[in-house]
Structure 1
Amino acid sequence: MDDELPEPLRAVEHELTVLLRRGRAVSWEIAREVHPNLEPNAYGLLLWLRRCDSIRLTDLAARLGIGKGTLSRQINGLESLGLVRRDPDPTDRRAAQLSLTEQGRQRFDAARSARLRQFRRTLEDWPTRDVEEFARLLSRFNEIPL
């Protein structure tokens, strides 16, 4: 059956596997830079919160494609570390707006700066057009529901 798959598809699967393995290693590293007790998958949550500034839990769960219960447990962990806060939603008293605390923002920004410097070093020999195309193709791939 595997032999029936076109070579380019097998190459994509292989490269994505390598990318995910490298991504997990980087996530562990950067999570520890934000906070020694931060779970690696929480970096993505912090990135969304930094990008959105403030967002409802249900909206964030929908964007990430995870359940509200799972997300709520992860947010509780980030709150206990002092990185995230919940504020009452002015439009719905039953809901809350999630955002980074000042400490969360500072720690995230410092860790992200280090990560971006690493990306810059890794891609510095690539032509700008290649980096732009790489970003475009990754974005296109990431928009596909799995």
Structure 2
Amino acid sequence: MIVRKASKEEAARIAKMERAVFSDAWSEAGILETMCQHTASVYVASVENTIAGYAIVYTVMDEGELVRIAVDSMFRRQGVAGSLLDTLIREGQDHGILLWHLEVRKSNDAAQGLYRSRGFSKDGIRRGFYENPREDAVLMSLRLETLSGVQEE
């Protein structure tokens, strides 16, 4: 499996996966627009030249937000999401990202377990955040140490 930045040519495949996974799917145009933003990055995990999953993040100063992560149904439970997340955290830290945020559906125990396994902790609940179906979001974050080993306040 290879995790790398997505190319614009892959936006259609990412949008197709969006429609299969999310009730509020982003369009191909929206994904392309995101790819052009200097504060956004889109990563794909590929297995034998097939996109197995993707992740979309925004970064500002020393903070990152995971806004989308999805895995094709054929590749679930094979470590794709974990590989994507590990790459995002590692590359983010290389670029000074010390705090990661995300929201996840309250019912998505598998995703919450993945995030906890990478050190994320629950910060709170955002009531009624998701639609189709209406559901609360669990807010999670991961604070990384600085190079000196001391967390900044």
Q: Of Structure 1 and Structure 2, which has the larger fraction of its residues in strand? A: 2
Q: Of Structure 1 and Structure 2, which has the larger fraction of its residues in helix? A: 1
Structure with greater contact order relative to length (CA < 8 Å, sep ≥ 6): 1
Larger Rg: 1
